[in-house]
């Protein structure tokens, strides 16, 4: 099973690579759900790791319905990421009716090629996931990151299994949302997905002094040992996996 770790720093990317991840998704502003990282951060992470590096292209937090100006920003950000030798792009655009914007997304996919393409969890906002699945396939994307439309992947397992079956190998379904070493084995068996995504991040309170006031902010880090534990859970023996499912 392929493991993708979401990171927002060079240090976390290195930890993910050393821990055995196949791929990292690089974001900034994880508190906003992830937005496009700076060119400098992309370049630094690319220089630091030799596993696959995917970069999210999302101009802001909030919804996934973008103006013409925002769409142009996304196009330019894709070109900037390509120039820094990344392996893939993570993106997604919706219509105001909460459906996949097939035409616009396909344009971005075409700009990004020959890089790999993941359609991110904007998918989970769509009103009809079965229709959204077909729409994302029509855009030419390679995979969908999804929790099955639920708050987290464990609660969306039934829908994830259905999406995996309906995809029929036409696109990869990557489960994401609340996946940890304690539940990843059960999720893998019950859904049949071949890829999982996790931040495995540990929050840490950090205080910054601005003038005379103290402002707390939350930072995130990925530890090598956590990624190793995640991989070890996935690679458990079949007997252990069957026990997990029964429990």
Q: Tens digits of per-residue pLDDT, 85-115?
A: 999 999 999 999 999 999 999 999 999 999 9
Per-residue model confidence (pLDDT) at position 239: 41
Among residues 245, 231, 234, 244, the alpha carbon closest in space to that of 18 is found at 231
The pLDDT score that the predictor gives to residue 32 is 85
pLDDT beyond 50 at 154: yes
Q: What is the pTM of this model?
A: 0.90
Q: Is the pLDDT of residue 198 over 70?
A: yes
Our CA angle for 205, 182, 240, nearest 5°, is: 160
Confidence check: pLDDT of 119 > 90: yes
Q: Is the predicted pLDDT of residue 237 greater than 70, yes or no?
A: no
The pLDDT confidence band at residue 201, using thresholds 50, 70 and 90, is confident
Instruction: Say which CATH number the domain at 78 has.
Output: 3.20.20.380
Q: What is the mean pLDDT of the chain?
A: 90
In this structure, which long-range contacts are made by residues 32-41, counting pairs with CB atoms below 8 Å and at least 24 apart in sequence? 32/60, 32/61, 33/58, 33/61, 33/121, 34/6, 34/8, 34/58, 34/120, 35/59, 35/60, 35/61, 36/74, 36/77, 37/8, 39/80, 39/84, 41/9, 41/10
Query: How much of the chain, in percent, has pLDDT values that exceed 90?
Result: 84
Structure tokens at 37: 């990282």
Q: What is the mean pLDDT of residues 34-44?
A: 97
Lowest-pLDDT range, 89-98, 112-121, 167-176, 195-204?
195-204
Across the range 192-214, mean pLDDT stands at 66
Please tell me which residue, 203 or 232, carries the higher pLDDT value: 232
Under 8 Å between Cβ of 186 and 165: no
According to the model, what pLDDT value does residue 88 have?
98
Q: Which residue range is the domain that position 27 belongs to?
A: 2-246
Per-residue pLDDT, 206: 42
Instruction: Provide the domain count of the chain.
Output: 1
Residues 6+ apart with CB under 8 A from 162: 130
Give the DSSP H/E element, type plus range, for residue 52.
strand 52-56
**Mean pLDDT to the nearest integer, 203-221:** 50
């Amino acid at each position: 099973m392929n493991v993708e770790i979401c990171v927002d720093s060079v240090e976390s990317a290195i930890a993910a690579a050393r821990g055995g991840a196949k791929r990292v998704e690089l974001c900034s502003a994880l508190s906003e759900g992830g937005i496009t990282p700076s060119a400098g951060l992309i370049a630094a992470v690319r220089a630091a790791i030799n596993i696959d590096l995917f970069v999210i292209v999302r101009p802001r937090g909030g919804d996934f319905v973008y103006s013409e100006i925002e769409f142009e920003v996304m196009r330019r950000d894709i070109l900037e990421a390509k120039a820094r030798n990344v392996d893939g792009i993570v993106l997604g655009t919706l219509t105001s009716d909460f459906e996949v914007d097939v035409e616009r997304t396909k344009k971005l996919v075409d700009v990004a090629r020959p890089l790999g393409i993941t359609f991110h969890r904007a998918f989970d906002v769509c009103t009809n996931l079965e229709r959204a699945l077909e729409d994302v396939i029509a855009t030419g994307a390679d995979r969908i990151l999804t929790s099955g439309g639920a708050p987290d992947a464990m609660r969306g397992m039934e829908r994830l299994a259905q999406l995996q079956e309906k995809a029929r190998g036409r696109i990869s379904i990557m489960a994401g949302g609340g996946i940890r070493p304690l539940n990843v084995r059960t999720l893998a068996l019950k859904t049949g997905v071949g890829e999982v995504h996790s931040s495995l991040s540990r929050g840490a309170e950090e205080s910054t002094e601005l003038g005379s006031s103290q402002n707390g902010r939350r930072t995130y880090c990925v530890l090598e040992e956590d990624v190793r534990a995640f991989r070890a859970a996935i690679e458990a023996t079949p007997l252990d996996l069957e026990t997990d499912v029964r429990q």
